[in-house]
Chains A and B, each alone.
Chain A
Amino acid sequence: MRKAIVIALCMVALVAVGCLGASAAETLNVIYMAQAGYQPDDIRDMADLFEFLTDTKVNITFVKYDEQHEKIVASAVAPVATYDVILLDLIWTAEFASKKMVVPLDDQITAEMRKDIAPAIMDAFVFDGKTWAMPFLANFQLFFYNKDMIKKAGFAGPPKTLEEMVEQMKAMKAKNIVKYPWTDSWNQKEGLVCEYVWLTGAFGGDTFDASGKPIFNEGPGVKALEFMVSLLKEGLANPKCLTNDETAAKDDFISGNAAFTTNWTFQYALMNDPAVSKVVGSGEMGLIPVSKAIADKKKTASVSGFQGAAIMANSRKKDLAWKYVKFITSPLVQRSYLQEMPVWTSVQKSAYANMMDQTMAVKSEQIAAVHHRPKVPPYPEVSSILQRYIHQALQMKMEPKAALDKAAEEIKAVLAKK
């Protein structure tokens, strides 16, 4: 009897060893968003190729953008990381870096690599003198306009300034070409801060100074919010803007219900897809116009939505994680997925990329004019305050200046605590 038990235990042990041997390939866990930017199929493609080349198993968890932050934090506080590689939005750089949730990559990123990435992109992931993520997605906003509506309204081409755009919109409204010429993503989420940042830039300013102090409640910042409110008051902006996210704003535009909007790069492909778009041929992408007051100094302004690939500090496979990060962010991979703007200058300027993507020149010009959101550790809280008060002003429950003053006061209190 005892012999039989020993034999059985040996067999079980052998089977277990066999199973472990069969799964010798290391597993890497990655979290990525299923929203704007590279689409899940592309990310899976990249991972499949990496698996083929390195005999690694890559598990990817796709979540909505808004769900990422808390999942990453939950992974960071666990004894063992749930995810080895994360998508690090530039707005989280300061927070994750100051909490040491991700590892610095300065030893891995060579001087040659740095030279080929524009400082505007690379600096987004620098905090306290260290680089915390490898740039992966160079997302930013562009201007989308309906050239047929512009023509019907009696204008030769797209507006060069915000004032010209308002003039065109009023003409469109008067001629019943479109009920609400402007649409945007002004719901109380991160997207609202992005819209406000580029608009403040379009009026010649920034929302925060270089030291991270709020300055949006003076001059350009106030003008930007007053401009947003005026679009709503004059019936030029769709009231639905207040509940729109970027996807809903895109839907408004590609359904032919708006003449103008700004959005991330992802809108371009969908705008030209006959399966979903009613504006194929009439929808165009160009540079975001700025206010007349600064038009002689600056041609355009935008907002950055750069994202990098970072490695969790509690990952037990940091070397393998870097291999994966290096692979998916490599020029070779980025050249193959040109639906998003490559982070490498050499790829952006390559003849191949310019042949495959006719908008590369516009994108390159627009990306050079991006404004960043602030790099402060309690960013989610800072952003939430800003969203709340901007939204109050858009709902016309507070005056723009008063709303921004209150937001600045609360943000200063939050920053003082840190």
Chain B
Amino acid sequence: MLLRAHDASERRLAWWLLAPSVALIVLVVIGPLLFALYLSFQDAEPTVGGISMRFVGLANYVHHLVQSDLFWMAVRVTVYFTLVSLGVELILGIAIALVLNERFWGRSVVRAMILLPWAVPTVVNARMWEWIFAGSKFGALNGLMKVLRVFPPTHDQVWLGFDVPFEAVPVLGSLFKWMGVTRALNMIIVADTWKVTPLVAFLVLAGLQTIPSSLYEAATVDGAGFWRKLTHITLPLLKPVLLVILVLRTMELFRVFDIIYIIMQYSIRVLGVLTYEVGMKFLHFGSGAALSFLVALFILGLALVYIRLFYTEDGY
């Protein structure tokens, strides 16, 4: 009896101790989220000293999903950006992690240096790559190509141009055109990958270091080569780490805004850019909020797919 009373007071104390954090979360996360949801069912526009609202039900959602070509084009561009970035980041990240997991002279220095790109703020990274891809006056890449005699002195490649890669190739060209793939989009993928791959590499490296070396020793004794060890030991045991990377990066890539907006403004409309344009440029707050929730639903759907594919009871 006494013990139960003690438990109850412990629980009460716990709630009191949690109260400030809960209040803060409600205030800065749940509150705005619920308001945004409410906003998504309104035709909301700014007026002096506030926002005027008119309930429109699901009209904002219907407009984007049914009537807007722009929305579906943004979905296609975003899907391409997400898939290609994720693929490149994972392949490079795993490769770098495997190298960094080996013993070699100066490994700690290389490990520290490899993380530098990730330390660069996104805005700075975007501006930096914008200058690298720029024309004759500042463009480092064009300058390098000329120094290496790849380009003649008078040639300047428009790296951020709108030509469709492999346009002449029958199926691939049409697919890229339909997906809104341009040279500029691929260049931005390069810029984003350069920054994020080190983080992926380090997360994979952390996973690699949890794999017991005895497994590799046993495999060596059994005559397994590098490829078999990779496919039968390394990758299966990295599954929990890869799941985390997949979910996190998919979320980040699917709602990408900053790097694309800084380099290309509205010339490449991924979902994040479209949401910003509708909400903040056209001032259709309700429509913009609906777009945000559609993006969130897409991400949720993808996360569920990943979990179904990769999640197992024992974590492997």
Contacts and interface: CB of A to CB of B under 8 A. Distances in A.
A-B interaction: yes
B161 interface: yes
B266 A239 contact: no
Interface string B155-174: 01010111000000000000
Interface in A95-109: 99-101
Interface stretch (B43-51, B99-107, B297-305): B43-51
Contacts of A313: 48
A399 B2 CA distance: 84
Interface stretch (A44-52, A53-61, A292-300, A378-386): A378-386
B153 to A, nearest CB: 11
B177 interface: yes
A395 B283 CA distance: 28
In the complex, which range does the number of interface residues on chain B fall in? 20 to 34
B281 A239 contact: no
B158 A314 contact: no
A243 B158 contact: yes
Contacts, number: 75
B47 A179 contact: no
Contacts of A240: 135, 156, 158, 161
B9 interface: no
Interface residues of A, number: 35
Contact of B49 (A77, A257, A397): A77
Contacts of A387: 266
Interface stretch (A66-74, A147-155, A321-329): A66-74
Contact of A391 (B51, B158, B160, B267): B267
Contacts of A388: 266
A279 B49 CA distance: 50
A89 to B, nearest CB: 14
- Say what secondary structure dominates the interface of chain B: loop
Contacts of A187: 265, 267
Contact of B265 (A79, A101, A189): A189
Main secondary structure, interface of A, reads helix
Interface in A363-390: 378, 380-381, 384, 387-388
A99 B266 contact: no
B154 interface: yes
B209 to A, nearest CB: 44
Nearest to B134: A248
A77 B266 contact: no
A69 B266 CA distance: 15
A366 B282 CA distance: 32
Interface string A239-250: 110110000100
Interface of B: 45-51, 135-137, 154, 156, 158, 160-162, 177, 184, 265-267, 277, 280-283
